[in-house]
Chains A and B, each alone.
Chain A
């Protein structure tokens, strides 16, 4: 007996289908067929992303933008509420206002990352068939990648974990999906740093691909002391979910993260014959840019421009700048010591090149982040502080 014959289905069984059709009215009972017609679209018309995401958060109206009423049906032991305004210092006229500029809902997100995985696997097969590993400088391959790409993996993994409480506590649905995708990208990044070394191990079986070397560098090395402590503080000591996200995505990652990923690995890898690491980091940078746009929408477009609370929010963001920027600058200054361990390459490892790297990161950050909330930064002084770490 075929599966179709096991149980009669109302759509395909003629007798059942006829009975159903007899009950269906000739004309629809309502003319409004647009799901979420009451949602304010960001653009001209509602996107599928907005329809699927907006107002999935069932918060009451005393959390701005909520459509429900009344109290929570079950609370934490002691009576703390399920979700509440007290979980962040920032205020919003509507916690449902944010829109991800990339309009990502789940199928859109996993399709893109799944494609990245297929492309990466095809790249690895080509890279290995080409014997491209032969061109990589042995010191870069055996010293720098295990230590510092490994350490970057820990930084990314710590940032990933900083998102867990945010995903529990944040008060909006579009916020929650943006933060979730940012978190998933971070754990992906840490896994990709491992993948690079495991891939080298597969091509070169004597190569140690365990994370131990990077972990030792991250937990004991002087180059990462401030970075590690900053990540630990964001992860486990900061309870305000907006502060965590602001510290991670508006300060630490666009500064320290960009310095290490873009200016160190992406810029220097070609100088050491490494075409593998830049390929992987390019994917990481794609995620960074997508996240950057989403975070700008949250903290600049929505919260800094909030019609009722924008000024208040900006003051808090400045407070957080004062708290997290010095830690991040210290982390960048300490990272400068890594440059001294590199085999010299003209145009890449000389002081002028490194200063240009630092300037690019700092300038980008000032333009894209600090200026947006009118936070004053002395670029020269900041660069000088970071460059002071250069041994």
Chain B
């Protein structure tokens, strides 16, 4: 082969110029859009009604080795803090008991979201046609593996050092027992991976990550540190550094479909559904975990929610996407109503079924009650009195034989579970926006608590067929279910879940539960 003059000249120059050089990540990345090639059946295995552009770019222009180097540096800082300074300070134990229990839920449930986001990002990587866009989603696949392991590490760390390791040690096994689990799967698992690929991206990146990671991953670090927990901020703030890439991916997903006029027909409906799906669970659950799962309070959840969900996301973030035809979800105003009372409604139910948890719960203390009343006027008359009654009946003491679930039965307060969100609600006690609707379909009854979920179900009932805990456990005695689903500690008889976190209080056993003779009943049967 003939050597070009330019090549010859350059080769000669080498004899004189031997300056050390190497290749940077950007110099490789700039060719990435050319890595693809066209072929007959080059199409995704996960069809979307949207058309993703072939020339979409990514904002974080990384190659594999540079990604690894960058993440490895972050890991060194994180694990260095955890394994050195925090361990020497015994920081894993010096955490307010209620908060240490809260982290059993937060870390494990976030882990599920991160794990499912691996599959979700992979689906988007499959759906995108532009190599840079694929690369952005690939980076997220790897991040989500990282976050899965980081969340697991928080439970792992607390397993070793926290004074109540039960639940941290076995959350992945016992989490399926309680009524909060299925709803968590809807928002953090199936909502990310089952549907139109772009719809899933909207759920994961545009809502889950752009909207709720601020309250979930950032706000939780403030609550954690106030309650003595420096483990969670060390890990979660490291997670958050990757979330920016994911928000950028969500933005680029919208950019990639915006050129298609047909996108306008679907985008805002999908965004509205995704927002309602995510907020329906996160709004009450996060508020409940923060306010009822802490000793020291940071700020009322409703303020956090207004700042990050309503103003920052619904206003600023969605506003930036306005040029692509994106509008704030119509359901945002209804969600705003839920941000005030829904978490109080949920804690009432969560405490009532405390034996099905993999964490200890505690009734609001006198200080808590004062704080609630000061920040949510009217709280005491509606909720506080009920807790006082339960406490007076000995709900914390195994010898009382009283489980608050019995109080609901005695007072004809029926508890339903929303078929679409899987979030439990009690229509006769709620102060939030929930209201009961029941439909019958294929010989089975379905309960709903709001019109947005009801609409989703009416459009596509085949997507929301999951049975709930009351249907699954109907007719079975509570202690049997707990034993079958591993809800006991290493002695084989003491429950992982408990209705108090006091040093002096006795721990409930399977026999205590059996004496209460609670039998599950399906309210729709």
Q: Which residues of A contact B (CB under 8 A)?
A: 7-11, 16-17, 19-21, 23-38, 48, 51-58, 67-82, 105-107, 109-118, 120-122, 124-126, 128-131, 133-134, 138-139, 142-143, 153-154, 157, 161, 163-169, 173, 176-177, 180, 183-185, 187-188, 190-192, 194-195, 198-199, 202-207, 209-212, 215, 218-219, 228, 232, 235-237, 239
Q: Please determine whether A28 and B164 come into contact, CB atoms closer than 8 angstroms.
A: yes
Q: Could you mark each residue 60-96 of chain B with 1 if its beta carbon is under 8 Å from any beta carbon of chain A, else 0?
A: 0001111111111101000100000000010101111
Q: Please determine whether B490 and A30 come into contact, CB atoms closer than 8 angstroms.
A: yes
Q: Please determine whether A53 and B189 come into contact, CB atoms closer than 8 angstroms.
A: no
Q: Please determine whether A184 and B64 come into contact, CB atoms closer than 8 angstroms.
A: yes
Q: Which residues of B contact A (CB under 8 A)?
A: 1, 3-4, 6-7, 9-11, 14-15, 18-23, 27-28, 31-32, 34-37, 39-43, 45-46, 63-73, 75, 79, 89, 91, 93-97, 111-112, 115-116, 118-120, 122-123, 125-126, 134-135, 138, 141-142, 145-146, 148-150, 152-153, 155-156, 159-160, 163-166, 168-170, 172-173, 176, 181-183, 185-186, 189-191, 193-196, 222, 225-230, 295-296, 298, 422, 460, 462-467, 472, 486, 489-490, 501-503, 507
Q: Please determine whether A164 and B126 come into contact, CB atoms closer than 8 angstroms.
A: yes
Residues of B within 8 A of A72 (CB): 185, 190, 194, 466
A250 → chain B, closest Cβ, in Å? 21
CB-based closest 7 A-B pairs: A206-B6, A10-B228, A167-B122, A113-B68, A188-B64, A117-B65, A114-B69
Residues of A within 8 A of B96 (CB): 10, 20, 23
When A and B form their complex, what is the total count of cross-chain residue pairs whose Cβ atoms lie within 8 Å? Answer: 382
Residues of A within 8 A of B73 (CB): 114
Contact residue among B97, B169, B176 (Cβ-Cβ distance under 8 Å from A33): B169
Q: Please determine whether B28 and A191 come into contact, CB atoms closer than 8 angstroms.
A: yes
Contact residue among A55, A74, A130 (Cβ-Cβ distance under 8 Å from B172): A55
Question: With the chains together, A25 CA to B93 CA distance in Å?
Answer: 10
Could you tell me the dominant secondary structure of chain B's interface residues? Answer: helix
Q: Please determine whether B35 and A165 come into contact, CB atoms closer than 8 angstroms.
A: no
Question: With the chains together, A11 CA to B87 CA distance in Å?
Answer: 13
Q: Please determine whether B464 and A198 come into contact, CB atoms closer than 8 angstroms.
A: no
Q: Please determine whether A168 and B22 come into contact, CB atoms closer than 8 angstroms.
A: no
Q: Which residue of B lies closest to A140 (CB)?
A: B1
Could you tell me the dominant secondary structure of chain A's interface residues? Answer: helix
Question: With the chains together, A361 CA to B434 CA distance in Å?
Answer: 66
Contact residue among B164, B172, B422 (Cβ-Cβ distance under 8 Å from A30): B164
Residues of A within 8 A of B34 (CB): 210-212, 215
Q: Please determine whether B165 and A82 come into contact, CB atoms closer than 8 angstroms.
A: no
A102 → chain B, closest Cβ, in Å? 15
Question: Can you give 16 A-B contacts (C-beta < 8 A)?
Answer: A7-B298, A9-B228, A17-B228, A19-B295, A25-B163, A28-B165, A32-B166, A35-B155, A72-B185, A110-B71, A115-B72, A131-B14, A177-B145, A188-B64, A195-B28, A215-B37
B378 → chain A, closest Cβ, in Å? 28
Residues of A within 8 A of B165 (CB): 28-30, 32-33
Q: Which residue of B lies closest to A136 (CB)?
A: B11
Question: With the chains together, A72 CA to B463 CA distance in Å?
Answer: 9
Known: A11-B94, A74-B191. A232 touches B39 (CB 8 A): yes
